């Protein structure tokens, strides 16, 4: 019998779901509560407010997702480890046949929790790394002692034979430790990725952007990582599309907030369909209409932009930053133009 690698199988299912416009992958933020206070974070509260979904409500939503044929759930926060009912939620998800992925800062990992994750066949655990030293890590997280908790959790994960990826959000505070972070992670036998994108908070507060690298610095880091390590930044690439909202949000993916709002993505918090009064099935129809009815305004220049294939601006970036999906943001224009120019200069077919 022909064997298909797990990743290839999931990519195939995902593309089929997109063609059929079926939800296949969901990001579920279980809480905004977090034990860290990262400077770049897009979390609006860092505290679990009373309106967060309780376990019974979460289980009811998970049942609807399973009945609708959703395949993968990525649980995130805040920090998942701050939810005391995480274990029964994960057990229920597994019982319903959903594949589980987790995003965590690893500071609350325990040996018992890792045994549970092994039993539940968790498909992926993505851990954030904010620095390779106490100083840098804690300048990012704002919490004394957090580096020691993170490092202990990471070592436990490394010895647990679980599918772990460690991802570094690169900012003005930690970019000088990117190579050290890579060493730390790879010396533990784990896979390292980095990410250069930061967003405003989900409420549109642009404070996190003050920690964003300039386009020149981003390109310099990309080049250095590529030539030294052969690595590229981790960016979720979506298939090319003529749609105004080009990504997979509302095509085969969506997100749910800790308050039970169904949105295009965690970083694209519309249309805020309320699952505490409605159903996932109806919410999916609302999301599809949100994508299909979105229209560009007179600000929209992308179709005639010469740097489009180098651009990393999503519709959500401008929406979060200035409330208008059509606008080209100066940061992304400069980044795309610089990338474009660099590629032209490096093109071997370019006349001398
Ligand atoms: S660990 Fe994650 S959720 Fe918590 S403050 Fe840092 S970025 Fe935000
Ligand atoms: S640089 Fe601006 S105009 Fe060009 S593709 Fe990106 S967002 Fe559109």
CB 189 within 8 A of CB 183: no
Alpha-carbon span 101 to 162, nearest angstrom: 11
Of 76, 79, 137, the one to substitute when testing ligand 1's pocket (max ligand atoms within 8 A of C-beta) is 79
Number of the ligand 2 atom closest to the C-alpha atom of 327: 7
Number of the ligand 2 atom closest to the C-alpha atom of 333: 1
Alpha-carbon span 6 to 9, nearest angstrom: 5
Q: How far is the CA of 301 from the centre of ligand 2 (A)?
A: 7
CATH number at residue 32: 3.20.20.70
Q: Which ligand is nearest to the Cα of residue 329, counting in written order?
A: 2
Give me the mean pLDDT over the 188-213 stretch: 95
Considering the domain architecture, whether residues 306 and 279 belong to the same structural domain is answered as no
Give me the pLDDT at residue 329, please.
97
Give me the pLDDT at residue 14, please.
74
Whether 338 is in the pocket of ligand 2, judged by its Cβ within 6 Å, is: no
Considering the domain architecture, whether residues 289 and 329 belong to the same structural domain is answered as no
Tokens of 41: 């974070």
Considering the domain architecture, whether residues 50 and 182 belong to the same structural domain is answered as yes
Asked if residue 282 belongs to a domain, the reply is yes
For every residue of 64-115, DSSP letters joined together read: HHHHTT--EEEEESS-GGG-TTHHHHHHHHHHTT-EEEEEE-STT--HHHHH
**Residue owning the nearest CA to atom 6 of ligand 1:** 38
**Residue owning the nearest CA to atom 7 of ligand 1:** 41
Number of the ligand 2 atom closest to the C-alpha atom of 302: 8
Total number of domains in the chain: 2
Asked if residue 176 belongs to a domain, the reply is yes
Considering the domain architecture, whether residues 211 and 87 belong to the same structural domain is answered as yes
Q: How far is the CA of 313 from the centre of ligand 2 (A)?
A: 7
**Residue owning the nearest CA to atom 3 of ligand 2:** 302
Give me the mean pLDDT over the 120-138 stretch: 98
Considering the domain architecture, whether residues 270 and 310 belong to the same structural domain is answered as no
Vertex 238 angle, CA 235 and 278, to 5°: 105
Q: How far is the CA of 300 from the centre of ligand 2 (A)?
A: 8
Q: How far is the CA of 132 from the centre of ligand 1 (A)?
A: 17
The b/e string for 79-106 (b: 16+ C-beta within 10 A; e otherwise) is bbbbbeebeebbebbbeeebbbbbbbbb
Mention every residue, 6+ apart, whose C-beta is less than 8 A from residue 284.
23, 68, 254, 262
Could you tell me how far CA 50 lies from the centroid of its own chain? 25
**Torsion angles phi and psi, residue 220, rounded to 5:** -60, -45
Considering the domain architecture, whether residues 282 and 336 belong to the same structural domain is answered as no
Q: What percent of the chain has pLDDT over 70?
A: 91
Whether 328 is in the pocket of ligand 2, judged by its Cβ within 6 Å, is: yes
Asked if residue 341 belongs to a domain, the reply is yes
Whether 307 is in the pocket of ligand 2, judged by its Cβ within 6 Å, is: yes
Residue 313 Cα distances to 84, 306, 308, 321, angstroms: 37, 14, 9, 11
Considering the domain architecture, whether residues 280 and 337 belong to the same structural domain is answered as no
Q: What percent of the chain has pLDDT over 90?
A: 82
Asked if residue 2 belongs to a domain, the reply is no
Alpha-carbon span 69 to 189, nearest angstrom: 35
Number of the ligand 1 atom closest to the C-alpha atom of 34: 4
pLDDT confidence bin for 1, thresholds 50/70/90: very low
Q: How far is the CA of 311 from the centre of ligand 2 (A)?
A: 6
Q: Which ligand is nearest to the Cα of residue 127, counting in written order?
A: 1
Asked if residue 1 belongs to a domain, the reply is no
Q: E strands of the chain, at which residues? A: 25-29, 72-76, 99-104, 124-128, 164-169, 191-195, 253-256, 261-263, 273-274
Whether 81 is in the pocket of ligand 1, judged by its Cβ within 6 Å, is: no
236-262 residue pLDDT tens: 545 556 688 888 888 999 999 999 999
Considering the domain architecture, whether residues 121 and 190 belong to the same structural domain is answered as yes
Asked if residue 29 belongs to a domain, the reply is yes
Give me the mean pLDDT over the 72-85 stretch: 97
pLDDT confidence bin for 174, thresholds 50/70/90: very high
Beta pairing partners, 25: 72, 253
Considering the domain architecture, whether residues 214 and 170 belong to the same structural domain is answered as yes
Alpha-carbon span 200 to 217, nearest angstrom: 19
36-62 residue pLDDT tens: 999 999 999 999 999 999 999 999 999
Considering the domain architecture, whether residues 76 and 134 belong to the same structural domain is answered as yes
- 0.85 cut: is pTM over it? yes
For every residue of 171-213, DSSP letters joined together read: -TTTGGGHHHHHHHHHHTT-EEEEE------TT---GGGGGPP
Alpha-carbon span 81 to 118, nearest angstrom: 16
Considering the domain architecture, whether residues 95 and 190 belong to the same structural domain is answered as yes
pLDDT confidence bin for 328, thresholds 50/70/90: very high
Give me the mean pLDDT over the 57-78 stretch: 97
Residue 84 Cα distances to 54, 63, 79, 88, 154, angstroms: 11, 20, 11, 9, 21
pLDDT at 191 over 50: yes
Considering the domain architecture, whether residues 157 and 187 belong to the same structural domain is answered as yes
pLDDT at 11 over 60: yes
Number of the ligand 2 atom closest to the C-alpha atom of 337: 1
pLDDT confidence bin for 232, thresholds 50/70/90: low
Q: Which domain holds residue 18?
A: 9-293
Number of the ligand 1 atom closest to the C-alpha atom of 35: 4
Give me the pLDDT at residue 342, please.
84
Q: How many helices (H) and strands (E) does the chain have?
A: 11, 9
Asked if residue 351 belongs to a domain, the reply is no
284-300 residue pLDDT tens: 999 999 999 999 999 99
Alpha-carbon span 253 to 284, nearest angstrom: 9
Whether 313 is in the pocket of ligand 2, judged by its Cβ within 6 Å, is: yes
Asked if residue 212 belongs to a domain, the reply is yes
């Amino acid at each position: 019998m022909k064997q298909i690698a797990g990743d290839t199988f999931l990519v195939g299912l995902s593309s089929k779901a997109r063609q059929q416009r079926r939800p296949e992958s969901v990001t579920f933020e279980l809480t905004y509560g977090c034990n860290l206070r990262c400077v770049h974070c897009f979390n609006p509260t860092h505290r679990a407010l009373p309106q967060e979904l309780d376990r019974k409500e979460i289980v009811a939503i998970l049942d609807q997702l399973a009945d609708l044929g959703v395949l993968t759930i990525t649980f995130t926060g805040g920090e998942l480890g701050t939810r005391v009912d995480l274990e029964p939620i994960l057990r229920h998800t597994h019982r319903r046949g959903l594949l589980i992925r987790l995003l965590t800062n690893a500071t609350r990992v325990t040996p018992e929790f890792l045994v549970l994750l092994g039993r539940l066949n968790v498909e992926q655990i993505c851990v954030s790394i904010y620095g390779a030293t106490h100083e840098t890590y804690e300048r990012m997280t704002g919490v004394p002692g957090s580096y020691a908790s993170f490092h202990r959790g990471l070592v436990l994960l490394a010895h647990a034979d679980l599918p772990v990826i460690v991802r570094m959000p690169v900012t003005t505070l930690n970019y000088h430790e990117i190579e050290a972070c890579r060493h730390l992670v790879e010396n533990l036998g784990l896979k390292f990725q980095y990410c250069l994108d930061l967003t405003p908070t989900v409420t549109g507060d642009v404070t996190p952007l003050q920690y964003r690298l300039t386009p020149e610095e981003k390109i310099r880091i990309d080049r250095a990582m590529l030539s030294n390590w052969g690595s590229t930044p981790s960016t979720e690439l979506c298939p090319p599309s003529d749609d105004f909202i080009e990504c997979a949000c509302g095509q085969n993916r969506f997100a749910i907030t800790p308050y039970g709002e169904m949105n295009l993505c965690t970083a694209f918090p519309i249309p805020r369909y309320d699952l505490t009064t409605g159903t996932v099935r109806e919410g999916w129809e609302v999301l599809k209409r949100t994508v299909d009815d979105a229209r560009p305004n007179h600000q929209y220049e992308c179709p005639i932009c010469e740097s489009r294939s180098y651009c990393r601006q999503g519709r959500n970036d401008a929406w979060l930053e200035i409330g208008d999906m059509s606008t080209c943001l100066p940061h992304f224009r400069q980044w795309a133009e610089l990338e474009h120019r660099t590629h032209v200069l490096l093109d071997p077919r370019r006349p001398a």
